[in-house]
Amino acid sequence: MTGVTAVPHHLRLTQSRMPAYARDNLASLPQRSCRSQHTLGRSVACHGVGFVTGAQVELTLHPAAPGFGLAFQRLDCPGTPPVPATRDSVLPRQRRTAIGQNGVVIELVEHVLAALAGLQVDNCLVTLDAPEPPGFDGSCRPVVEAILEAGRVAQDAPRPCLIINRVLSVGLPGKQLTLRPLARPGLAISYHLDYGPHSPIRPQNRTFLADPADFATSIAGCRTFVLDSEVEALKNQGLGQGLTHQDLLVFGHDGPIDNHLLYPDECARHKILDCIGDFALLGADLWGHIDACCSGHTDNHDATAAVLQHCHLAPVVAHAA
């Protein structure tokens, strides 16, 4: 199906309130329009080691019907139903996203969600035989490759779109996330990272327009990162036992230890990957500008709650694949 969705009358680009880096990057981005829902062409599996358990995990992505959304099912908990990847399923965690329902918990879902949402796969049942997906190298590239191998199939149903029609902010000054209207359909994400002059992670900015091809090439391979000084505390939380410096980016005084950056701003790009995964919990596309400054998963979860409370579904007239 093809068609055009009118930009609602009340949308206005709040350029004057944008930081210069976001304004400059947005100026050159192309327009996007509403689209149909998509699923996978067939089931596809990937394997790897879980960051929390250190155990081998098999994760399989299955096609699902229009309106199903994204959900995770633990095959190691026989008889339990899939847990929908929605805002209502989010459990309180530090530095990661976990979902659960009726005692069935799946940790660290954000990178799998990012791969699905980044490639605009809207309906998918994710099965796994462990409490967490494989961690891979701290990126979602293997899941993206699996999705591309299975193929993406258009479905005869429009993808709902939530419109950011007012400025919404969460977090605190210096660590906050602001959502702003955008004058055209589409989602732009800006991430500003600045951990101060003494951090081995240099200040960096990146703006990304939601687009499957750009996501696959410029965001999906960007890896999660920690400071060497934080590793002990994370291990005390049960995270990262047995991980090496090749399993994610560990920053010492002089940069990544026994590893190298794919891009000078790989950390900002990974934060955008995290945003894409966490905002997938909306179950709808988002039209607007996410402007994030040193924010994390909790801010993303608070922002999705604010969107669901304050924003409206777009009046979809027609849709395009």
E-strand spans in 159-224?
161-163, 168-172, 175-180, 187-193, 204-209
DSSP codes of every residue in 279-319: HGGGSSEEEEEEEEES--HHHHHHHHHHHHHH-EE------
Residue 111 Cβ vs Zn ion, minimum distance, rounded to whole Å: 6
Altogether, the residues listed in the chain come to a count of 321
**Residue closer to Zn ion, measured from CB, 191 or 287:** 191
Q: Which residues bind Zn ion (CB under 5 A)?
A: 224, 274
Residue 12 Cβ vs Zn ion, minimum distance, rounded to whole Å: 32
Q: Is 241 exposed, middle or buried (0-12, 13-18, 19+ CB in 10 A)?
A: exposed
Backbone angles phi, psi at 114, to 5 degrees: -65, -45
Active site residue 297: yes
Residue bearing tokens 């293997």: 142
**Residue closer to Zn ion, measured from CB, 274 or 299:** 274
**Residue closer to Zn ion, measured from CB, 107 or 274:** 274
Backbone angles phi, psi at 291, to 5 degrees: -115, 105
Residue 115 Cβ vs Zn ion, minimum distance, rounded to whole Å: 12
Q: CA gyration radius for the chain?
A: 19
**Residue closer to Zn ion, measured from CB, 52 or 163:** 52
**Residue closer to Zn ion, measured from CB, 123 or 224:** 224
From 297, 310, 312, 319, active-site residue: 297
Backbone angles phi, psi at 158, to 5 degrees: -75, 145
Specify whether the backbone of 294 is left (phi greater than 0), alpha (psi in -120 to 50) or beta: left
**Residue closer to Zn ion, measured from CB, 98 or 161:** 98
Whether 259 contacts 139, CB under 8 Å: no
Residue 17 Cβ vs Zn ion, minimum distance, rounded to whole Å: 28
Residue 127, C-beta contacts closer than 8 angstroms, at least 6 positions apart:
59, 60, 62, 72, 73, 74, 75
**Coil, strand, or helix at residue 97?**
coil
Active site amino acids: 297
